Structures are given as structure tokens and as C-alpha cells.
Amino acid sequence: MLSYYKPSGLEAFISVISMQLHRLSCRGGVLLIAVTFSSMVFSNGAESAPFKKPCHWRHIVIHHSATRKGNAEIMDRYHSNRRHMQNGLAYHFVIGNGTSGCADGEVEESHRWKAQLPGGHAKQPWLNESGIGICLVGNFNRQTMSRKQMDSLVNLVNKLRTTYDIPLSCIKGHGDFTGEHTMCPGYNFPMKMLKSRLKATPSSTALHMPIPSVARRPNAAPKARSLQRLGFLSAPRE
């Protein structure tokens, strides 16, 4: 499991001050102070700066939840209340396994993605700032991912890598990134199969990915519109 960093009140205050200094900077001296403060505060933690800043997506990081069941809402509560992560859910996308009210293969988009915020899913800040975090519900040390989860993952990754020009070499499991020191996404995660399907599937077209049962939820319409903006088309439940 990941160890998450909890910024103190002082660190949060300094980060806000550094951002304001950055915005007000006209010459080198003030800018240097802002950059120095930012580096001091976030060099040791996983959670990125609380203020919004543009992200340059260069990697896709695949995770498993290491739990038998779950969904984005449950993870968000845990990360907010137990891990005290200021931006909530650490991942940008969650792919369900048919538990906790989510359909098997259902893609959930997080607040971090909608706001284009860095992730909180990796140990190293640089990977949070450059890596799109996708979490599949399940413990792939003890079980295998479902066919529908794999289908949704292939569709999502293909669309993201096309949109942000991310090469296949930069699409990895969490533990495959140097310095992360974790077995995530689990021994049973089929990385070779994923890479093979990504190579074989055209990534330049909008892929038709079913979003089972979202129309029955109160927030279904915004979720469907958000996924459609990424190029996915909603479909009725099978």
C-alpha cells in the first residue's frame, strides 16, 4: 500500500504564500524565493501542491486498489478522512469490478482529473505531476482482473495516450517506475496482455465503451458528458 504525505498547517501556509509570490514576481529575486519555498515544502511528500497548476501528462500509471471491492466515492472518503489528502481521491480514474454499486468495467472520473490536478497516487512528486493515475478495483495479488475491466482499461488508455501523445514505453504498472518500491498493481496484473492489446488497437479513433447503469444514478448525466468529452460514447447496460 502507498504511504501518503500529510502536509502540516505551516507547510500549507507556505505553499500558498509561495504561489502568491510566484504570481506577483516581476524579477528574478522574488521568483527564486517562490521556487525555493515550493521545493522545500513538497520534496518529501506524495501529495502535490494544494493550488491548481497546469499538468503536462507524460506517463500513465496503473494501480490496483488492493481491496476486494470499492469505488471512487469510497476511496475518496478514505483518502480525505483517513489519509487527510487535501484534494481527496488520489487517482484520476477508477475502474470498477462490479462491487459497491459500480458495474464491472465502469469508469469513474475523479475531481483531480476534472480540475486537471496532479495525482496523489505515487511516492515521488514528479510522477504525480506527470502521471495519470488509473486504479482498478481488486487485489491482483490474490485475484485476476475481469475481462470488462481490461476492455475498459484498454479503451481509456488508448484515448489518453492519443490525446496526450504518451508513448507505450511510458505506460507502466506503479511498481515498474523506478523509485516507487511497490508490487502494485499486483503479481497477477496482465501487463504483457495490456501492452499487446494497446499495440493492436487503433488509438486514433473514438472507441465505443459501454458505461453500464450510469443513467440510473443522480450524477449520471455529468459523468456521461465528461466521459464523452474524452471521446467515449455511453451505451445501454448489457
Residues 38 and 139 in one domain: no
pTM above 0.75, yes or no: no
Residues 95 and 190 in one domain: yes
What integer is the mean pLDDT of 43-58? Answer: 54
Distance of CA 224 to the CA centre of its chain: 18
The reply to whether 235 falls in a domain is no
Residues 79 and 145 in one domain: yes
What integer is the mean pLDDT of 138-150? Answer: 96
What integer is the mean pLDDT of 67-74? Answer: 95
pLDDT of residue 226: 52
Residues 99 and 177 in one domain: yes
The reply to whether 35 falls in a domain is yes
The mean predicted confidence, pLDDT, of the chain is 74
pLDDT of residue 83: 86
Residue whose C-alpha cell reads 506517463 in the numeric block? 59
User: Percentage of residues in the chain with pLDDT exceeding 90?
Assistant: 58
Q: Which residue in 57, 62, 93, 59 sits closest to 75, CA to CA?
A: 93
Domain extent at residue 13: 9-42
pLDDT of residue 10: 46
Residues 126 and 35 in one domain: no
Q: Residue 68 maps to which CATH number?
A: 3.40.80.10
The reply to whether 3 falls in a domain is no
Contacts of 11 (CB under 8 A, 6+ apart): 41
Residues 135 and 197 in one domain: yes
Residues 28 and 100 in one domain: no
The reply to whether 47 falls in a domain is no
pLDDT band at residue 47 under the 50/70/90 scheme: low
- 59-64 vs 131-136, strand pairing mode: parallel
pLDDT of residue 140: 97
What integer is the mean pLDDT of 8-16? Answer: 45
pLDDT of residue 54: 57
Overall residue count recorded for the chain in this entry:
238
Residues 165 and 216 in one domain: yes
pLDDT of residue 169: 95
pLDDT tens digits for 163-191?
999 999 999 999 999 999 999 999 999 99
pLDDT at 195 over 60: yes
pLDDT of residue 8: 46
pLDDT of residue 229: 53
Residues 161 and 71 in one domain: yes
Name 95's bridge partners.
107, 136
pLDDT tens digits for 197-237?
998 876 554 344 443 333 334 454 455 455 545 544 433 23
Residues 82 and 109 in one domain: yes
The reply to whether 50 falls in a domain is no
Residues 25 and 64 in one domain: no
Question: Between 117 and 50, whose confidence is greater?
Answer: 117
The reply to whether 4 falls in a domain is no
Count of the separate structural domains present in the chain: 2
The reply to whether 196 falls in a domain is yes
Residues 106 and 193 in one domain: yes
Per-residue cell: 228: 464523452
Question: Radius of gyration of the chain from Cα atoms?
Answer: 18
Per-residue cell: 52: 491548481
Q: Are 122 and 46 in contact (CB under 8 A)?
A: yes
The reply to whether 14 falls in a domain is yes
